[in-house]
Amino acid sequence: MSLTLDVFELSRTRGVVEGDMPLEDMPELASEVLGLEGGAVHFRIEGLGIVERLPAAALTIEAGVVMQCARCNEPVTVPVTRELTFRFTKTEEEANALPIDEEGEDEEVIVGSKKLSAAAWIQEEVILSLPAMPLHEDCEAEWEDDEEPAPEEEKPNPFAALAALKH
């Protein structure tokens, strides 16, 4: 699915694009995971018109990402659900010129395009959602039980070694 979007037109018309993005269209994600439940990421992109003087769209993604458990090395399904609002500028300079306080906590400002790859956009957001250490619930409980604080070793006093040299 080679879906490209004109994010400015989508925003202006408040259009909606919804579907399933197959893993084979997201090679970077495919190299980091074992697979996807159902073989795809469900997405919805909705134009929001103008938000704080910029064209905007909401991106919603839902997937069951299959990864390798950091504890037992068996497959574990990690649910990924994200809802994000993006505001679009036409150039990097325009984005950089925005005051920092103008970027809301729940929205990102990015350079938009009339030919934005939906697969690349969705792939990036899924990758950003992946846990650093995926764990089964049972493995997480075992992991926490194993983490007993190590006893502090008594460190030799470096001055004691000097005192021994004096004698």
Stated as kind and residue range, the H or E segment containing 165 is helix 158-166
Whether 116 and 43 have beta carbons less than 8 Å apart is answered as no
Q: 0.95 exceeded by the pTM? A: no
Bigger pLDDT: 26 vs 164:
26
Closest CA to 33 of 65, 59, 64, 9: 65
Local confidence band at 19 (pLDDT 50, 70, 90 cut-offs): very high
pLDDT digits (tens, 9 = 90+) for 61-113: 999 999 999 999 999 999 999 999 999 999 888 888 887 665 455 678 888 88
Structure confidence at residue 130 (pLDDT): 95
Whether 54 and 42 have beta carbons less than 8 Å apart is answered as no
Structure confidence at residue 94 (pLDDT): 87
Average pLDDT of the chain to the nearest whole number? 87
Whether 63 and 41 have beta carbons less than 8 Å apart is answered as yes
